[in-house]
Structure 1
């Protein structure tokens, strides 16, 4: 076994080469051709497409559909050396994506632009193109490391060619590619299944909320607790305290349990408090400053105290507008999907004021957690979105009067508490599932790299003693190259000899 010391990113001094493998410079296997510096003045509306660095996209693909650039059809002949063919392996040699590789899978021809490299195999009996493609994919990070320059890193073709690579026998290369592609196909299938999980989680969330506000979650509980205070009594008491008239007859009541009542949210609201609107620096609050809350602080389900501006005018500070722990906050303006987003403040350690786009709401004898969950349900969202106004798609508003008109099913207070408990327990399970998914996804992102690493250590497939060693093939190729160089030098000497001017000695 031979020590596997090389520039190749996955190999170390302690690794051993499998039987028949050899470590060699990439230039012994292929050359790297840089593209041509085509001039923008020659660009046309149609013709032959130009492959630039920006065309090298995700999943090792070349995208010619986004912002295409074309050159005259005549360039297909005049610049034939830079004409790409299906299956060509490309690499970015400049900019933020230096080292990014792609395979040109298009059936149409295209031209190779400067700072994009193409790998040209010297001898197909030495290296299999699909193997080289996988090899270059694994070398991408190494190429990026070797690039020089600050904001615009660069690497030359000759520097890429000097990288050391592991080279197995040709037949083993093919077996490796077959195994890698089979494993990656399984990896992609598993990834597709994983990608469906967030949507399934959200669907289950909405199913839980829908069941909660139809009364399904607490159906058994109601049977076991028949003597609780009816909602009608609760609403009568609220109305007396707030001097409001209760909505007694709404057709939608038939969709809810008999002990529930469908009423307008305004029936249960004691007070809506809005903040102030004024210009201040876009800096998060700290221990020594006073903040003004931003819409984004309430957008994503939990209060985010870092989403604030800093009040720089002491005259604008109003302690009555400071946000407190336990406050029910809601945005009155945002996109249609986010207007009416609500939170209950769990923790707050800084002095933060309400802004004009955030309301603080106090409810009368109704569990604010119940209201919070309802407004996040599909029923609640439909009520909010149907009442939001505004011509701009980027910003919708809901007025206090419209907000009070929102219809909400009200169960007895003890059942509200039970519903909140059921929702919280179900969502805790979903949150744990979400964390597990994120953990798996994080590990999954390294799976393809692990497959390639094992492949290029010779651990994916068995070695066959009948395979011709790569060293034998390489030696033959090197001898042929040396012979070509000798012939080339000899030819150059002859050409120089022919061009020598002989002075006229007889003049």
Structure 2
């Protein structure tokens, strides 16, 4: 800041505080019951959160630790190790102490809320990060923390700044909350589109103009030419019971009749990992409520000429399905990705009619068809996920090829619309985040509220703080002396 507003003064954090210390560097072992010893994880979104769990210590241990921190209502907490720069004002009389990752600041003469906002300002945050030390986990030492620059306006102006920031940032938080809620709405929208698509509701108007039915002869020819997979009647019958009502002209087909080949990846790929070579696809490459293959996080393998895992080589229009843990994610291989294989947590299903590939993917991804059937078929005390028989036994509501392609086009249009909104929301969220920082920066340049010539200058306030700090230090020394006195008397006796 080149020039401070009238009545303001440049000082250091240490000059503003009558107490600036951190929590225990050697915390007691955790107990089953006791008093809380909080850490940086308990300071989130500008608030102190006891609900996030903490180390518990005995009353006796608390008394010893509390001599260091002596936390009071109105103190400001600041994370100084690991998660740097998060702050909160202590708003409770509940007893607790701290681990080393949190510093406690007491500045009773100035506004606690002003101090918290000042810590959150871009200029102060930059100082924290610029002065942090360490490699694996960065932290800022108390000596350096005390030296960090901070601007101090007159006390009445501090209160005006806090009131204005409370008002403006509450509005920003409201906007942010609304924006943060949109992705969940879009998730529901996408599932609604999928549910309408695979139940025939999305193409009701299309069927009025196109009298097409599922072509059994086409499937028979494909099975003769490319083959099919054996399914289990009992599993298929269970799956059928979960299906929504489907339009006339559609048929419910076991997935095995539509898949020429179903397999899963093999184990023991780690020895083939490489910086280049064939793609190695895992569950992380399959997304939620989407059938797009995600290739952002990829691993490569180099295989010898003869290896068992080559049976899981991926081809164009294959379907990839997660079969362990987070079961039922699906991706359609819509384009040539070169040589690629899958690991043991993913199944590969190869449609015998390519034009149905994307539609079948939508069926498996939809809540009212695939996800519901996954929930039924994966049940069991010892069953950790889906077996290949389960996949072959999916009950799929099948329209004509032409209607399936019409469904895919409509879903693509709706999903593109949702993607556009999602991208706009992300940009808006970034602008809102920048807006918060811009407002804080403006506040601590003295541009958010007007100055008042009648306000007591900050330098007078700083002198009072210095006097209060001297008195606090004197009281601390007297308390230590008093604590030692009984031991001396006892030794003389």
TM-score bin, normalised by smaller chain: 0.7 to 0.9
Secondary structure at the aligned position of 2:446 is classed as coil
Matches within 5 A, 1:155-166: 155-166=140-151
For residues 410 and 139 of structure 2, the distance between their equivalents in structure 1, rounded to whole angstroms, comes to 58
Q: Return the structure number with greater relative CO, CA threshold 8 A, min gap 6.
A: 2
For residues 276 and 77 of structure 1, the distance between their equivalents in structure 2, rounded to whole angstroms, comes to 57
Give the CA RMSD over aligned residues.
Answer: 3.8
Matches within 5 A, 1:267-416: 267-269=257-259, 271-274=260-263, 277-281=266-270, 287=276, 289-299=277-287, 301-304=291-294, 307-308=298-299, 310-316=301-307, 322-324=313-315, 326-331=316-321, 333-335=323-325, 337-339=326-328, 341-349=330-338, 351-355=339-343, 357-364=346-353, 367-378=356-367, 379-388=369-378, 391=381, 395-400=384-389, 402-416=390-404
Residues 1:391 and 1:302: Cα distance change in structure 2 (over 3 Å): farther
Of 166, 176, 184, the residue aligned with 1:199 is 184
For residues 414 and 374 of structure 1, the distance between their equivalents in structure 2, rounded to whole angstroms, comes to 16
Residues 1:64 and 1:484: Cα distance change in structure 2 (over 3 Å): same
Corresponding residue for residue 219 of structure 2: 238
Matches within 5 A, 1:72-111: 72=59, 76=63, 80=67, 82-93=69-80, 95-111=81-97
Secondary structure at the aligned position of 1:177 is classed as helix
For residues 78 and 71 of structure 1, the distance between their equivalents in structure 2, rounded to whole angstroms, comes to 10
Which protein has the bigger helix share?
Answer: 2
Secondary structure at the aligned position of 1:457 is classed as coil
2:13 aligned with 1:30: no
| 1:128 shift after superposition | 1.9
For residues 206 and 483 of structure 1, the distance between their equivalents in structure 2, rounded to whole angstroms, comes to 65
Task: Give the unaligned 5+ runs of structure 2.
Answer: 476-493
Secondary structure at the aligned position of 1:131 is classed as helix
Secondary structure at the aligned position of 1:274 is classed as strand
Corresponding residue for residue 129 of structure 1: 112
Corresponding residue for residue 486 of structure 2: none
| 1:76 shift after superposition | 4.2
Corresponding residue for residue 498 of structure 1: none
Corresponding residue for residue 209 of structure 1: 194
For residues 444 and 337 of structure 2, the distance between their equivalents in structure 1, rounded to whole angstroms, comes to 53
- Equivalent residue pairs, number: 457
Corresponding residue for residue 188 of structure 1: 173
Contact 2:18 2:469 in 1 (8 A): no
Contact 1:290 1:352 in 2 (8 A): yes
CA offset digits 1:296-339 (Å, max 9, x no partner): 33455322455445245332178775433x2322236222x533
For residues 244 and 370 of structure 2, the distance between their equivalents in structure 1, rounded to whole angstroms, comes to 17
Q: TM-score, normalised by structure 1?
A: 0.77
CA offset digits 1:450-487 (Å, max 9, x no partner): 22111101121122222222234335666x589989x9
Secondary structure at the aligned position of 2:106 is classed as strand
Of 431, 441, 460, the residue aligned with 1:453 is 441
Q: TM-score, normalised by structure 2?
A: 0.79
Corresponding residue for residue 265 of structure 1: 255
Of residues 34-43 and 469-478 in structure 1, the stretch that sits farther from structure 2 once superposed is 34-43
Corresponding residue for residue 433 of structure 1: 421
Residues 1:222 and 1:177: Cα distance change in structure 2 (over 3 Å): same
Residues 1:56 and 1:392: Cα distance change in structure 2 (over 3 Å): farther
Contact 1:50 1:70 in 2 (8 A): yes
When Rg is computed on C-alpha atoms for both structures, the one with the higher figure is: 1
Corresponding residue for residue 481 of structure 2: none
For residues 100 and 354 of structure 1, the distance between their equivalents in structure 2, rounded to whole angstroms, comes to 42
